[in-house]
Amino acid sequence: MNKQEILKNINARMKGTMVEHLGIIITDIGDEYICGKMPVDNRTVQPCGLLHGGASAVLAESLGSIGGNMTVDMDNKTVVGVEINANHLKSVNSGWVIGEARALKIGRRLQVWKIRITNESGENVCDSRLTLAVVNK
């Protein structure tokens, strides 16, 4: 399967989930990384109109979890988040934010992913780290 087919399948699997609800789109994948984008709109902002930190955390955990699942035998295993942290570094009030998750450690039982979220100008909006447990289905 080529990369475009894989991306199409990943995005199709997100139907009916929070990922779809927030408008997150997976845009690129590779060995131990995954990228996606999320709109800054009425679904993802605080009442004052700025990107909600929780929405950034959802983008980060979604990218890391999808990436993590791509590294395991998905017939028998899955990954679940056990810890996430997020440092919100710059506010955003419109456009898109772009996330890139890179594996720091892929272990048999634990994975650690670093997620960088930027605005459309490439400025760092949020740095996050996600720890995943690899569990039997």
Q: Residues 45-61: what's their mean pLDDT?
A: 98
3-136: CATH topology:
Thiol Ester Dehydrase; Chain A (3.10.129)
Tokens read off for 91: 């506010």
- pLDDT of amino acid 31: 84
The residue from 5, 20, 61, 120 that is catalytic is: 61
84-132: pLDDT as tens digits: 999 999 999 999 999 999 999 999 999 999 999 999 999 999 999 999 9
Contact 70, 26 (CB under 8 A): no
Contact 42, 9 (CB under 8 A): no
Q: Is the pLDDT of residue 49 over 90?
A: yes
Contact 69, 26 (CB under 8 A): no
- pLDDT of amino acid 102: 98
Q: How confident is the model at residue 54 (pLDDT cuts 50, 70, 90)?
A: very high
Q: How many other CB atoms sit within 10 Å of the CB of residue 124?
A: 12
Helix (H, G, I), strand (E, B) or coil at 21: helix
- pLDDT of amino acid 21: 97
Q: Is the pLDDT of residue 73 over 90?
A: yes
User: In which residue are the tokens 């930027």 written?
Assistant: 118
Domain coordinates in residue numbering, the chain = 3-136
- pLDDT of amino acid 1: 78
* 61 labelled catalytic: yes
Residue 111 one-letter amino acid = Q
- pLDDT of amino acid 32: 81
The kind and range of the H/E element at 55 are: helix 53-69
How far is Cα 73 from Cα 48, in angstroms, rounded to an integer? 43
How far is Cα 1 from Cα 135, in angstroms, rounded to an integer? 26
Q: How many other CB atoms sit within 10 Å of the CB of residue 123?
A: 10
